[in-house]
Structure 1
């Protein structure tokens, strides 16, 4: 394990670097970081409480200094607010179930990201392509997972169809990843319901009636 001085220095460098970047900025392939909420702080404190109980000796060796612990928490909070509070709790449980060692921030991030495929969720780009290619009516299609449909709906179908991928994909990605988090946290998304068929069908117009309507339309449009 690293000594307290090393941990403090690493935390200070990371915090200094993060302070130069806007909280909502994200690099390629990264999710935008959101401002920390009280719920995020509570979830992170719960995660560290689990670490203290599960990794007792390792924990107290790494965080014997209150200053170290507070700086590490600040660093983690800055990086982990990209996830929902419940996702932080799930990530912490996953870590203690799978590892004998006190986790690094990188390990915690990977635990929070989870494994969407194990929940039947396609990867983000495949989901985006599926949403863009689905014909109308959207709700009547057979979706690989309801999250794909709901992400497309939240992104706006016309926007997805009319915008280039470099513009549309980040919007879809943001909605889809949030929905994936909800699914991995136990939420059940409603299955899209196809539009109901009309109770009665209109009688087809005769050729003469169609001709009259076309003539009326031409007069109206001055064609």
Structure 2
């Protein structure tokens, strides 16, 4: 317990240090090209390293024995993991710890954060894009493979998807879809699209004879 407390205290000191040296604060060009690291992202990353330290104790200290190098490694990880929400980063770390005996590489951590969409009934982004583009109107009434496809299409704008080339539209759709997939894999249940309500009364189509009768009456009225 004493060792764990010591490690957690050390992790907290690193959180404070990394908060003061966020990689996005290095220069103006950086802040324009990359999203700024939020406090929530920094905290999540340092929680991940604290968990790795506790679970992979000997491996951790062997790999990160140099404190200055560790700081640079954390900056690299932070830059690479900014695409994910803090909740997703924490979920990825839990998955790594539960499934691997070895300290993960950044690549393995990214893979864990991405998760396996198929386990949640989610298509790959391009297949979802094709489904969104081919779905007939009304969109809400279509039988979607998953609500995430509908909401990604709606967020992208249906007219934009229909009128733009794949090269232009797919990256926009993919960004919305991946964010929705993250939410689903983090445990959120997306509501089904609102299906348009049926009219309270259904009109019976007129017969051919009734249509002709009304047309004749209209001609008389207009003196045709």
Q: TM-score interval w.r.t. the shorter chain?
A: 0.7 to 0.9
Aligned residue number for residue 92 of structure 1: 93
Q: State the shift of 1:159 in Å.
A: 0.9
CA distance in 1, matches of 2:101, 2:194: 46
Q: State the shift of 1:198 in Å.
A: 1.4
Q: For each residue in 1:170-219, what CA deviation from the matched residue of structure 2 results, as whole angstroms up to 9, or x when unmatched?
A: 11000000000000000000011210011124577855469969xx9xxx
CA distance in 2, matches of 1:59, 1:210: 90
Q: For each residue in 1:72-113, what CA deviation from the matched residue of structure 2 results, as whole angstroms up to 9, or x when unmatched?
A: 111110111011111100111111112111111111111111
1:172 and 2:150 aligned:
no
CA distance in 1, matches of 2:136, 2:150: 12
Q: For each residue in 1:17-73, what CA deviation from the matched residue of structure 2 results, as whole angstroms up to 9, or x when unmatched?
A: xx8x85676xxxxxxx53211110011011101101100111112222321221111
Look up the SS of the partner of 2:94 in the other structure.
helix
Aligned residue number for residue 71 of structure 1: 72
Q: 1:74 to 1:210 in 2, by over 3 A?
A: farther
Aligned residue number for residue 115 of structure 1: 116
Larger RCO, structures 1/2 (Cα 8 Å, 6+ apart): 1
Aligned residue number for residue 14 of structure 2: none
Q: 1:212 to 1:92 in 2, by over 3 A?
A: farther
Aligned residue number for residue 136 of structure 1: 137
1:198 and 2:219 aligned:
no
Structure 1 stretch 103-112 or stretch 179-188: which is displaced more? Answer: 103-112
CA distance in 1, matches of 2:97, 2:216: 72
Q: Higher helix fraction: Structure 1 or Structure 2?
A: 2
Aligned residue number for residue 189 of structure 1: 190
Q: 1:198 to 1:58 in 2, by over 3 A?
A: same
Q: Mind listing any 5+ residue stretches in structure 2 that lack a counterpart?
A: 1-22
Aligned residue number for residue 147 of structure 2: 146
Q: 1:211 to 1:65 in 2, by over 3 A?
A: farther
Q: 1:181 to 1:48 in 2, by over 3 A?
A: same
Write the mapping of 1:26-45 to structure 2, written as runs, cut at 5 A: 34-45=35-46
Aligned residue number for residue 62 of structure 2: 61
CA distance in 2, matches of 1:126, 1:210: 53
Look up the SS of the partner of 1:139 in the other structure.
helix
Q: Mind listing any 5+ residue stretches in structure 1 that lack a counterpart?
A: 1-14, 26-32, 217-223
Report the aligned-residue RMSD. 2.7
Q: State the shift of 1:139 in Å.
A: 0.8
Aligned residue pairs, count: 191
Q: 1:125 to 1:45 in 2, by over 3 A?
A: same
Aligned residue number for residue 82 of structure 1: 83
